[in-house]
Structure 1
Amino acid sequence: MKLIIRLIVIGSLTYFLSPFSVWWLAMIVSFIVCYVSPSSGLNAFVAGFLGVGLVWMGHAWSIDVSNESSFSTTIAEIMKLSDPVFLVFATGLVGGLAGGFASLSGTTFRQLFLKQKKRSLYS
C-alpha cells in the first residue's frame, strides 16, 4: 500500500512541478519522498522508477503527438531507429532510472541516521 501512495505522490509532484522548474527537480522530489517515508530499497526504487518514468514518458508522448511526430521521426532517422516510438520509451527509461536511483538514495540516506539494534547472540 505504501508503494502505491509513494508512486502517486512522486508522480503527481513531478507532473505538477515540472513545467515550472528544471528537469532534475523530479529527482529531488523522489529523494525527499523516500527519505520521509521509510521503506525497503526495492520498494523505493520501484516507486521512483514508475513515478518519474511514467510522467516523463507521458510528457514525451504528448509532445510527440502535438507536433505530429515530425521531431521524433527526424531524430529516429539520425539515430538509425526503425520506429520513433522507441524515443518515447527511451525517455521514460532514462527518467525512470534517474527517479529510481534518487528514491533509493533517499531511503539509504535515511538509514544512515537510524540506530542499529544490537543483536544478542541468542536472538
Structure 2
Amino acid sequence: MILVLSSLAQLLLPWWVLVPLCFAVAAWSQLSGGRAFLAGLLGAALSWWLPAAWLATHGAERLASRLVTLLPLGGNAWTLVLVSGVVAGLVGGLAALSGTWARQALRPASQATGITQ
C-alpha cells in the first residue's frame, strides 16, 4: 500500500510526502515495528527506484551523469539510482516505524495488555 500511495502522491507533491504517508499507513495498520519498518523501507525505496531506473534507461541519463559528477559516486549513474533509493527507503522505514510507535503509545493501557474491566 505504501508503494502505490507514495508513487501516486509523488506525482503531484514534493518528495517529503513519503514521511507523513508512511507514518499514517503504519499508524493505521496493525503491523509490528519490524514489519512496519520493512514495509516503509521497501515501499519508499521502490517508489524511487522504479521511476529512477526507468528514467535512467529512457533518456534522462544525461541528467543523471551530470548530477553524478557533483557527488562522490565514481561517475556511475546507476550508483546514484541505488543511493537515492536507499535514502528514500530509510526515510520511509523510519517514518513507518515512528507511526507504529505512535499508535502503540496512544493506545489505552487496557487495550495494550488485554485487560477488561
**Which bin holds the TM-score, normalised by the shorter protein?**
0.7 to 0.9
Evaluate the alpha carbon distance shift between residue 118 and residue 35 of structure 1 in structure 2; reply closer, same or farther with a 3 A threshold: closer
Cα shift at 1:90: 0.5
| TM-score, normalization by structure 2 | 0.84
Cα shift at 1:23: 1.0
Find out whether 1:28 has 2:24 as its counterpart. Answer: no
Find out whether 1:85 has 2:81 as its counterpart. Answer: no
* Equivalent position amino acid for 1:42 in 2: G
RMSD, aligned CA: 1.9
Cα shift at 1:77: 3.3
Q: List structure 1 runs of 4+ shifted beyond 4 angstroms.
A: none
Percent identical residues? 30
Q: Which residue is equivalent to 2:90?
A: 97
1:38 is paired with a residue whose SS is coil
Find out whether 1:46 has 2:31 as its counterpart. Answer: no
Number of equivalenced pairs? 111
* Equivalent position amino acid for 2:80 in 1: L
Evaluate the alpha carbon distance shift between residue 84 and residue 103 of structure 1 in structure 2; reply closer, same or farther with a 3 A threshold: same
What is the rounded CA distance, in whole Å, between the counterparts of 1:17 and 1:118 in structure 2? Answer: 37
Cα shift at 1:59: 1.7
Evaluate the alpha carbon distance shift between residue 37 and residue 71 of structure 1 in structure 2; reply closer, same or farther with a 3 A threshold: same
Q: Which residue is equivalent to 1:117?
A: 113
1:39 is paired with a residue whose SS is coil
| Deviation digits for residues 42-80 of structure 1 (CA, Å, limit 9, x no counterpart) | 100000000010111112222222335112222333435
Moved more, 71-80 or 84-93: 71-80
Evaluate the alpha carbon distance shift between residue 12 and residue 118 of structure 1 in structure 2; reply closer, same or farther with a 3 A threshold: closer
Q: Which residue is equivalent to 1:108?
A: 101
